[in-house]
Amino acid sequence: MHRKFLFIVGGVMSGVGKGTSAAALGLTLKAKGYRVTAIKVDPYVNVDAGTMNPVEHGEVFVTKDGDETDQDIGTYERFLGVDIGKANYMTTGRVYRSVIERERNLEYGGKCVEVVPHVPEEVITRIKTAAEEADAEITLVEVGGTVGEYQNLLFLEAARMMHVDTPDDVGFALVSYLPVPPSIGEMKTKPTQYAVRTLNGTGIQPDFVICRSTLELDQPRKEKISRFCSVAWNHVISAPDAKSIYHIPELFEQQQLAELVLKHFGLSPRQNDLSEWRAFTNKITEAKTSVKIGVIGKYFSTGKFVLSDAYLSVLEAIKHAAAYQGVKPEIHWLNAETYEEKPEQVSELSAYDGILIPGGFGSRGIEGKIKAIQYVREQQIPYFGLCYGMQCVVIEYARNVLGWSDAHTQEIDAQTAHPVIHLMEGQETVIRDKTYGGTMRLGEYACAVTPGTVAHTAYGAERVMERHRHRYEFNNAYWAELESAGLVVSGVNPEKNLVEMVEIQNHPFFIGVQFHPEFLSRPLRPHPLFMKFLEVAAKRHR
Ligand code: GLN
């Protein structure tokens, strides 16, 4: 079998939606009966995304096999409906590390190891391995960054080399941005023309240009890009801002993008079935009542701008469940630090139908989160805590119900007399030796769900698998006292007896989970806990 590879590169600026375009195209190719996988190449020297601040880089997505990756891997999983593993993610750091390790092991047979060709060759090997592991007929390879940067040159060089070796099996799509400056009122194609020239300078000619913009691309501009960039006019795809990213596959279908990609590779559709997907997007369109959800976090602001990328999967998980509950989520970002500066402001939370506290690290904002949790617990406001959001539940309960005012997580206060959240076994050496990268409890683990709990009703299962990313955990020394004070342990890891879920009774919904359920939620398979949370929030709204 000749596996096919479509490289997706970005032009003009970052953040235009290469990942979503790749994922949406992947879905439509899959709907035509092909086995598809997607790879993300990140130009960073970081070995993985786990050591990057989410404000700078967006969410750290955790794979089933425990890799800490770019958020685009999450987008691929959601659109393609498959689990994507480590092999599908690489960074400059990861690539260089294996080249250097191989050199140390004498695997280059005494040769002088060079940036070119050895680094691009390592990239090619990784791309092919990922395609083979997924047994993909078509592999989409998204190259991070923008053409013209120094950073991603070696990856473009790898793509060029693959194209030279097997021209019929390798194609290129440029995802570009077409501004519509308000002062001019017209969509401008010039930056895209420059981006194509820059790409040409690396020896690559795009076969497709996907034109992101606020507006639809019209025929004259399609033709202009076609003529100036040497791309067939019907390969110039209009990709205006959509109502929801989940409508993009349908937008591509209208322009027959997947069919054209197949044709480019000498293939033709085997079937055409987007019906399940369309049923989901119809649900989004049909939902009318809005439900107001507050997400309390701290990774939002950069300068004067507010970003939500740090919590991308949380946002998507809420959207999926909301669509199935027939409601439109209105999500508000609430800064945890506000409740530290002005504790009385927690009363604003009563205007929400549900409050969620996602994962987090460090001391900034934690006291604000704990104050908010006390408020929603006492005021019967639906609450869902993820990871740090669960750990804060335990701290709050210990402080305000058991009266241990110094109760804390050892992450913040290593000396507390009540470390209700403590460092996991085996993590001491990590802290001592500062071997932080990739050493948290990562990836998928089992959780036994306690019968009779709200969690059990939501899951409808005794045993579930969920993804983790943490170094601290519930301290079992306090289990009995916390339970007798009313904090119900609703999920436990059977191998290590770790508390994975807690909840309280006599409350509409108050659950904290040590794992990250958001990573498993998909448009066609909303997560049971998010479903329950949205169901209860919708009820409160009514
Ligand atoms: N900081 C906490 C820990 O390391 C929680 C991590 C998270 O929320 N992902 O255990």
Q: In this predicted model, what pLDDT tens digit does every residue of 254-298 receive, in sequence order?
A: 999 999 999 999 999 999 999 999 999 999 999 999 999 999 998
Residue 304's pLDDT is what?
64
CA-CA-CA-CA torsion for 166, 167, 169, 175, nearest 10 degrees? 130
pLDDT average, residue stretch 362-391: 97
- The CA–CA distances, whole Å, from 312 to 107, 395, 521 equal 41, 26, 12
Greatest alpha-carbon pair distance for the chain in Å reads 74
List of residues 6+ apart from 180 with CB closer than 8 A: 186, 187, 188, 213, 214, 215
Q: Which atom of ligand 1 is nearest to the CA of 472?
A: 10
Which pLDDT belongs to residue 309? Answer: 84
How far apart CA 532 and CA 467 sit, in angstroms, is 19
**Average pLDDT of the segment spanning 113-133:** 96
* Cα 457 → chain centroid: 27
Cross-strand bridge partners of residue 42:
91
Write the CATH number of the domain with boundaries 4-278.
Answer: 3.40.50.300
Reduced to 3 states (helix: H, G, I; strand: E, B; else coil), residue 523 is: coil
Strands 170-177, 61-62: pairing kind: unpaired
Is there a contact between 309 and 301 (Cβ–Cβ < 8 Å)? no
Check if 361 has its Cβ closer than 6 Å to any atom of ligand 1.
yes
169-178 in b/e form (b: 16+ CB < 10 A) is bbbbbbbbbb
Going by alpha carbons, the residue nearest to atom 8 of ligand 1 is 359
DSSP letter assigned to residue 221: H
DSSP H helices in 265-356: 275-286, 312-325, 338-341
List, by residue range, all CATH 3.40.50.880 domains of the chain.
287-541
Q: Report cis status (omega within 30 of 0) of the bond before 517.
A: no
Is any ligand 1 atom within 6 A of the Cβ of residue 466?
no
Helix axes 219-229, 190-201, angle to 10 degrees: 30
* Mean model confidence pLDDT for the chain: 95
Dihedral sign computed on CA atoms, order 89, 93, 94, 99 = positive
Which residue in 26, 470, 497 sits closest to 248, CA to CA?
26
pLDDT digit string, tens, across residues 232-243: 999 999 999 998
Confidence at residue 307, expressed as pLDDT on a 0 to 100 scale: 72
Ligand 1 binding pocket includes 311 (Cβ within 6 Å): no
Q: Ligand 1: which residue has its CA nearest to atom 9?
A: 359
Instruction: Identify the pLDDT of residue 56.
Output: 79
Determine the average pLDDT of the residues in 119-146. 97
- All CATH 3.40.50.300 domain ranges of the chain, comma separated, are 4-278
- Chain center to CA of 123: 23
CA distance 215 to 371: 44
411 lines ligand 1 (CB under 6 A): yes
Rounded Cα–Cα distance for residues 416 and 306 (Å): 35
CATH class of the domain defined by 287-541 = alpha beta
Q: Which atom of ligand 1 is nearest to the CA of 516?
A: 9
pLDDT tens for 472-508 read: 999 999 999 999 999 999 999 999 999 999 999 999 9
- CA separation for the pair 59, 4 (Å, rounded): 29
- The residues assigned a catalytic role are 387, 516, 518
Phi, psi of 398 (to 5 degrees): -65, -40
User: pLDDT band for position 308 (50/70/90)?
Assistant: confident
Beta pairing class for 36-42 and 138-143: parallel
Taking only the tens place, the pLDDT of each residue in 5-39 is: 999 999 999 888 999 999 999 999 999 999 999 99
Q: What is the mean pLDDT of residues 87-102?
A: 97
> Does residue 202 have a pLDDT over 90?
yes
How much distance in Å is there from the Cα of 64 to the middle of ligand 1? 17
Q: Return d(Cα 466, Cα 444) in angstroms, integer.
A: 5
Residues contacting residue 7 through CB under 8 Å, at least 6 positions apart: 141, 142, 143, 159, 170, 171, 172, 173, 204
Angle between helices 18-31 and 257-264 (to 10 degrees): 80
Q: Which distant-in-sequence residues (6+ apart) come within 8 Å of 496 by Cβ?
A: none
Which segments of 466-522 does DSSP mark as H helices, in order?
Answer: 479-484
Strands 4-10 and 138-143: parallel
How sure is the predictor about 306, in pLDDT bands with cuts at 50, 70 and 90? low
Q: How high is the pLDDT of residue 139?
A: 98
